[in-house]
């Protein structure tokens, strides 16, 4: 039978800035043994490190500690803080602190854990592990639990991949968050109101390491692997701001399902008269794409020379912009249909009627571009099909009532988009 004991440490006095936390723990008379793991509430570490600050505005303190808003509902904010942790209010705590003050998380919880471990070894000669904890909420689950935000001398993850279960099945995905399990278990004896901020876990010495290790960094999922990094509104905002025109793609095939999901988003756009004026031609075959682009190139060359009088070099430079369509792994040709539009004998009102439908088409295209960005795909909307609509309809065998409204190149970006300074929205609106 294996046994694990969790013991709360009583007798720790109120901690103040500059206090030697290890000495205060040693003075409680708690007996430490080699292989023990100490779970320490971050609040006492922060107090010892002087992280109690004057702040009449807690929201301003959260702003100072946050680097990115992940989700927001009313006054509640889930943010990524400067320590790289995603949590409510950046860990800024206004409870159990004097009026007009807030308590910030330790500046570097891993460094705090290393310092505490070293000092306890100096005082006791024992090899222990340290986990600094804080309280987190969890997506999809009610209730709070403690998790590890700093660690030293503890294996924070246990990788079971490659092992075999009791039925002989090889485990392929299981990696256990040992430090978080320790934090949650220890909180059962620490509690939230008991005034007992430290607990000892005994019986798991095999998780205690000789070296301090990498701290909690291995527990934090990299952004590129995090499927749940953004809340709904933030995901939309991120996709909108992150949507950039991409002109160079990898050869990786595009998931046709992702494009179909983008079409489903596109057709939620507003439209006049309860119509559905959008059609999308998904050019998935190489034969169809080559036929389309060769026909368009021929039409462009003819029109630019015969109608516009351009010289061959200028024509070559202009049509070279179409290379983004030829080199992309996937093309979409959005088309406008005027079914359900009102017929007006007056040219002015007839033009306005068509403009309403064009606006609806633009909204659908933007929905598509943003959704594809959310799928991790790059896009480039190119207007060229609008200048040779009969050619496009012929090449793609489309009804005469379908008006091509450009083309969208889709693919995995070959390189990150260059940075672009944010535009000042005040330059784009007028208040009356």
> 19 lies in a domain?
yes
Asked if residue 405 lies in contact with residue 382, where contact means CB atoms within 8 angstroms, the answer is no
Q: Which of 106, 104, 110, 108 is nearest to 62 (CA)?
A: 104
Collect all residues with Cβ–Cβ distance below 8 Å to 366 and sequence separation of at least 6.
Answer: 269
Q: Which residues constitute the domain of residue 340?
A: 245-428
Residues 216, 268 share a domain: no
Mind giving me the DSSP string for 296-313? Answer: HHHHHHHHHHHTT---HH
Asked if residue 186 lies in contact with residue 201, where contact means CB atoms within 8 angstroms, the answer is yes
Residues 316, 182 share a domain: no
Residues 359, 319 share a domain: yes
Residues 326, 249 share a domain: yes
Residues 283, 221 share a domain: no
Residues 254, 196 share a domain: no
Distances (CA, A) of 324 to 108, 196, 312, 329: 46, 64, 20, 10
pLDDT tens for the chain, 432 residues: list them. 579 999 999 999 999 999 999 999 999 999 999 999 999 999 999 999 999 888 777 888 888 898 888 877 767 888 889 888 888 888 888 777 778 888 999 999 999 999 999 999 999 999 999 999 999 988 888 999 999 999 999 999 988 777 777 777 776 668 899 999 999 999 999 977 677 999 999 999 999 999 999 999 999 988 777 777 666 556 666 666 667 788 899 999 999 999 999 999 999 999 999 999 999 999 999 999 999 998 988 887 787 677 667 777 776 677 666 688 989 999 999 999 999 999 998 999 999 999 999 999 999 999 999 888 878 889 999 998 998 899 999 999 999 999 999 999 999 999 887 777 888 889 998 999
Mind giving me the DSSP string for 88-126? Answer: EGGG-B-TTS-TTEEEPPPSSHHHHHHHHHHHHHHHH--
> 60 lies in a domain?
no
Residues 202, 132 share a domain: yes
Asked if residue 230 lies in contact with residue 238, where contact means CB atoms within 8 angstroms, the answer is yes
Collect all residues with Cβ–Cβ distance below 8 Å to 135 and sequence separation of at least 6.
Answer: 144, 145, 146, 147, 187, 192
Find tokens 């705090």 and name the residue: 112
> 77 lies in a domain?
no
CATH number, domain with residue 196:
3.30.1330.100
Bridge partner residues of 131 (DSSP): 39, 151
Query: Crossing angle of helices 312-319/286-306, nearest 10°?
Result: 150
> 131 lies in a domain?
yes
Distance (Å, whole) CA 364 – CA 376: 19
> 89 lies in a domain?
no
Question: Which sign, positive or negative, has the C-alpha torsion 153, 157, 163, 166?
Answer: positive
**Which two tokens mark 274?**
């309860």
Domain final residue, candidates 194, 225, 256: 225
> 88 lies in a domain?
no
How close are the terminal C-alpha atoms of the chain, in Å?
A: 77
Reduced to 3 states (helix: H, G, I; strand: E, B; else coil), residue 9 is coil
Residues 202, 281 share a domain: no
Residue 387 has a CB neighbour count (10 Å cut-off) of 15
- Which DSSP helix (H) or strand (E) runs through 425? none
Residues 269, 160 share a domain: no
Q: What is the pLDDT of residue 357?
A: 95
Q: What is the pLDDT of residue 246?
A: 87
Distance (Å, whole) CA 12 – CA 361: 67
CATH number, domain with residue 264:
3.40.109.10
> 40 lies in a domain?
yes
Q: What is the pLDDT of residue 13?
A: 92
Residues 134, 32 share a domain: yes
Asked if residue 68 lies in contact with residue 112, where contact means CB atoms within 8 angstroms, the answer is no
Bridge partner residues of 54 (DSSP): 101
Find tokens 């013991």 and name the residue: 7
Residues 305, 186 share a domain: no
Q: Which of 229, 219, 216, 221 is nearest to 108 (CA)?
A: 216
Q: How many domains does the chain have?
A: 2
Residues 249, 215 share a domain: no
User: What DSSP state is assigned to residue 422?
Assistant: P
> 373 lies in a domain?
yes
Asked if residue 271 lies in contact with residue 357, where contact means CB atoms within 8 angstroms, the answer is yes
Domain final residue, candidates 192, 225, 258: 225
Domain final residue, candidates 173, 194, 225: 225
Distance (Å, whole) CA 146 – CA 135: 4
**Which two tokens mark 78?**
């889930």
């Amino acid at each position: 039978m294996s046994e694990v004991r969790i013991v709360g440490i009583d007798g720790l006095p109120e901690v103040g800035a500059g206090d030697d936390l290890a000495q205060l723990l040693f003075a409680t008379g708690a007996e430490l043994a080699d292989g023990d793991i100490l779970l320490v509430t971050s609040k006492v570490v922060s107090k010892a490190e002087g992280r109690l600050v004057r702040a009449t505005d807690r929201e301003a303190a959260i702003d100072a500690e946050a680097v990115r808003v992940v989700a927001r509902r009313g006054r509640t904010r889930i943010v990524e803080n400067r320590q790289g942790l995603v949590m409510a209010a950046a860990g800024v705590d206004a409870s159990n602190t004097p009026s007009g003050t807030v308590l910030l998380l330790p500046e570097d919880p891993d460094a705090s854990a290393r310092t505490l471990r070293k000092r306890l070894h100096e005082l006791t000669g024992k090899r222990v592990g340290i986990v600094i904890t804080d309280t987190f909420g969890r997506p999809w689950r009610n209730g709070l639990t403690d998790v590890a935000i700093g660690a030293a001398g503890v294996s924070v993850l246990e990788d079971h991949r490659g092992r075999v279960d009791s039925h002989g099945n090889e485990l392929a995905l299981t990696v256990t968050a040992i430090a978080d399990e320790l934090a949650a278990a220890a909180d059962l004896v620490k509690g939230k109101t008991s005034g007992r901020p430290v607990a000892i876990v005994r019986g798991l010495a095999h998780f205690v390491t000789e070296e301090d290790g990498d701290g909690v960094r291995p527990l934090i999922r990299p952004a590129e692997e995090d499927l749940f990094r953004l809340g709904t509104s933030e995901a939309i905002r991120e996709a909108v701001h992150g949507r950039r025109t991409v002109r160079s793609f990898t050869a990786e095939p595009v998931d046709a399902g992702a494009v179909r999901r983008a079409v489903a988003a596109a057709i939620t756009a507003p439209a006049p008269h309860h119509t559905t004026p959008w059609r999308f031609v998904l050019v998935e075959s190489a034969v169809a794409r080559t036929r389309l682009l060769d026909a368009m190139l021929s039409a462009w060359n003819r029109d630019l020379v015969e109608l516009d009088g351009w010289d061959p070099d200028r024509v070559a430079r202009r049509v070279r912009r179409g290379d983004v369509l030829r080199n992309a792994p996937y093309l979409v040709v959005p088309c406008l249909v005027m079914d359900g539009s009102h017929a007006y004998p007056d040219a002015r009102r007839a033009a306005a009627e068509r403009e309403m439908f064009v606006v609806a088409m633009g909204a659908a295209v933007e929905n598509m571009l943003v959704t594809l960005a959310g799928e991790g795909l790059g896009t480039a909307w190119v207007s060229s099909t609008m200048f040779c609509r009969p050619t496009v309809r012929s090449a793609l065998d489309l009804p005469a009532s379908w008006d091509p409204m450009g083309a969208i190149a889709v693919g995995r970006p070959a390189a990150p988009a260059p940075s672009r300074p944010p535009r000042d929205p005040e330059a784009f609106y007028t208040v009356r």
